[in-house]
Amino acid sequence: MAIDIKFIGKAYAPYTYDVCKEKIKEYAKAVKTLDPHYVDEKFAKKSKYGTIIAPPTFAVVFGANLIEPVFTDKELNLNMSMLVHGEQEMDFFEVIKAGDSITTGAVISDIKNKEKVDTITVEVTSKNQHGKLVCRGLYTFVVRK
Amino acid sequence: MEKGQTFQDSEVVDKYRTLYYAGASGDYNPIHIDPEFGKMVGLGGAILQGLCTMAFATRSVTNLIGDPGKLKKIKCRFSAPVMVEDTIKMQGTVTDIKDGLGYINLQVTTQGGAEVLQKFEAVVEV
């Protein structure tokens, strides 16, 4: 079954994620990115950011809270056994700091029905507690037919 | 940073990397953490989370620029799986510098030459 294009524009309820420095360190270690901005508190305090910041790609950690409801959306009914992550695009604005409270929303921005596959793109937008844009991600998934 | 400048990075995907990444990111899809499941669905074993490969690739760019806050954009296509114990090689080129922004292309391949991320592009403040 092709993904119905009527779902373009469907929005998902926002989720607020509290960023903690220990989670940042855990993520930085997992992706073997031991830049002192992420893991060295003394360095971070003296940096222009004044605290531990997250690697830019940490945005996928809170972004995941908006991808999960898309994957489990019964109305959309994606065939998860045929789904792979096809493309990723991320625009970065404000840096993510330890202690931030980040609210993320998502909308299905595109669906394409092709001969052998369907693609679905989810636009995920995150803002910090000051209302400033932190990251806009475009997650494109490919579902084989 | 200069136009035409090149840089390299690499990462050997250790046996447990997919588990560390699962814990840090929440992506516990069995194709990443269960080699038997990976074999059953025809992948030949556990495959690394694509966003982990993307994070390694992004690291090579943030290491180049020094200040992670200067990274403005990344994009890529996930074109082939990375298996546990593969070596990921990143080969970057600064393709242009214009209006205060640097444009970077990255080739991301495994030891056999397979291109695992295609069209990896980054934009940074310079």
Domain assignments of chain A as residue spans, ordered by start: 5-19+53-144
DSSP state of A81: G
Q: Which of A19-33, A75-89, B60-74 has the lowest mean pLDDT?
A: A75-89
Q: For residue range A31-64, what is the model confidence (pLDDT) as tens digits?
A: 999 999 999 999 999 999 999 999 999 999 999 9
Quote the pLDDT of residue A1. Answer: 76
Which residues, 6 or more positions from B84, have their beta carbon under 8 angstroms from its beta carbon? Answer: B13, B14, B15, B17, B18, B35, B45, B46, B47, B48
Class of the A5-19+53-144 domain? Answer: alpha beta
Which of A19, A57, A93 should one mutate to test binding to chain B, selecting the residue with the greatest count of B CBs within 10 A? A57
Say whether B32 is catalytic. yes
Residue A60: its chain B contacts at CB < 8 A? 25, 51
Mean pLDDT across the stretch A99-117?
Answer: 97
DSSP for A25-78 reads HHHHHHTT---HHHH-HHHHHHSTTSS-B--GGGHHHHHHHHHHHHHT-TTT--
Q: Chain B neighbours among A 11-70 (CB < 8 Å)?
A: 23, 26-27, 29-33, 35, 37-38, 48-49, 53, 55-57, 60-61, 64
- pTM exceeds 0.80 for this model: yes
Q: How far is A87 from chain B (nearest CA, A)?
A: 4
Residue B59: its chain A contacts at CB < 8 A? 31-33, 35, 55
Q: Does B51 touch chain A (CB under 8 A)?
A: yes
Quote the pLDDT of residue A81. Answer: 82
Q: Where are the alpha helices (DSSP H) in chain B?
A: 17-25, 30-33, 35-40, 50-65
Q: Both tokens of residue A16?
A: 């607020």
How high is the ipTM of this complex?
0.96
Phi, psi of A27 (to 5 degrees): -65, -45
The amino acid occupying position A136 is R
pLDDT band, residue B73 (cuts 50/70/90)? very high
Question: How many contacts (CB atoms, under 8 Å) link A and B?
Answer: 94
Quote the pLDDT of residue A86. Answer: 96
- Decide if pLDDT at B78 tops 90: yes
CA-angle at B10, arms to B53 and B100, nearest 5°: 80
pLDDT band, residue A82 (cuts 50/70/90)? confident
- Decide if pLDDT at A29 tops 90: yes
pLDDT band, residue B90 (cuts 50/70/90)? very high
CB-CB under 8 Å, B55 with A33: yes
Residue A29: its chain B contacts at CB < 8 A? 20, 24
Q: For residue range B32-69, what is the model confidence (pLDDT) as tens digits?
A: 999 999 999 888 999 999 999 999 999 999 999 999 99
Q: Does A86 touch chain B (CB under 8 A)?
A: yes
Mean pLDDT across the stretch A2-20?
Answer: 97
CA-angle at B82, arms to B78 and B88, nearest 5°: 95
What percent of chain B is modeled with pLDDT above 90?
96
Residue A35: its chain B contacts at CB < 8 A? 59, 62-63, 68
- Decide if pLDDT at A121 tops 90: yes
Catalytic residue among B50, B74, B86, B88: B50
Bridge partner residues of A136 (DSSP): A91, A125
Nearest to B51 by CA among B69, B24, B72, B73: B24
CB-CB under 8 Å, A35 with B21: no
Say whether B27 is catalytic. yes
Return d(Cα A74, Cα B121) in angstroms, integer. 35
pLDDT band, residue A145 (cuts 50/70/90)? confident
